[in-house]
Homo-oligomer: A and B are copies of this chain.
Amino acid sequence: MRRSREEAAETRRTAVETASKLYRERGVDSVSIGDVMAALGMTVGGFYRHFESKEALVAEACARAFADAGRTEDSVVASADDGEALAALLRRYLSRAHRDTAASGCPIPSLVSSVAHQPGSIRSTFTEGVRSLLGRIEKLAPEAEPEARLAAVAGMIGALALARAVNDERLSDRFLHDTRTFWTRALGKRRSPTPNPRDKHGRHPATRARHQTEPLP
C-alpha cells in the first residue's frame, strides 16, 4: 500500500487543490474531509498522513485558492491591450463565466460572509488576499481617488456574491453588468483637477479614461 515519495507529494498537492475548489464551490462547512479524499479516489484514513487537522487543510486550501486566482488575474491583466487592463480585469471578474465557475474563481466572494467565524489563521490569509486584489486595482487605477478604489473592490466582491446568491437570473446579470459598467467608467476618471497630470506612460488621463469607457460587449 505504501506509495513513493513523489506519489505521496502529489497526493498532498492534489488534496489541497481539490479542497480549494470544493471550498470555493460549496463552502468550507459543507465539504468534509471524506468529500475531499473521495474526490482523490482515496479513503479518509490517509488524510492524517498529510495534514494535522481539517483546519490545517482549510488554511492551505485558502492560500492556494488566492494564489491560483491571483495568477489568473495577472494573466488577464498581462494579455490586455495597453490601457485596457483595468477594463479587462473588470470584464473578467464580473462575468457570467466567473459567476458560474466559483470553484476556479476568486475565493473572496465565496467565503466573505463565513470567514468571520473561522479561526485567525484563515482570516489572515483571507485579509491578505483582499489586500492583494486591492493592490491590483491600485496599480491599474493609480489616478483614481483612494476612496473610489476601496469602494470598487467592495462593489466587485459584493456584485459577484450577490449574482451567485440571487434567485433571479435577470437581477443576477444586472448586478454583474451594471457594476462592471459603472466601475469601468468611474475608475478611469482622474483624481482631482490638478494641472496637466500625466501617468507613467506619459499619456494624459483623459486619453486613458476614454479608452476605458468604451462600451462592453
Contacts and interface: CB of A to CB of B under 8 A. Distances in A.
A181 B113 contact: no
Contact of A174 (B150, B159, B166): B150
A51 interface: no
A4 B164 CA distance: 44
Most buried by B among A148, A154, A165: A154
A29 to B, nearest CB: 5
Interface stretch (A12-20, A37-45, A117-125): A117-125
Given A109-B113, A114-B27, A167-B120, A157 B151 contact: no
A114 B164 CA distance: 10
A54 to B, nearest CB: 15
Interface residues on A, range: 35 or more
Contacts of A152: 155
A162 interface: yes
Given A29-B30, A109-B113, A154-B162, 17 more contacts: A29-B29, A111-B165, A113-B114, A113-B161, A114-B114, A130-B162, A147-B179, A148-B182, A150-B179, A151-B159, A151-B178, A151-B183, A153-B158, A154-B156, A154-B179, A155-B155, A157-B161
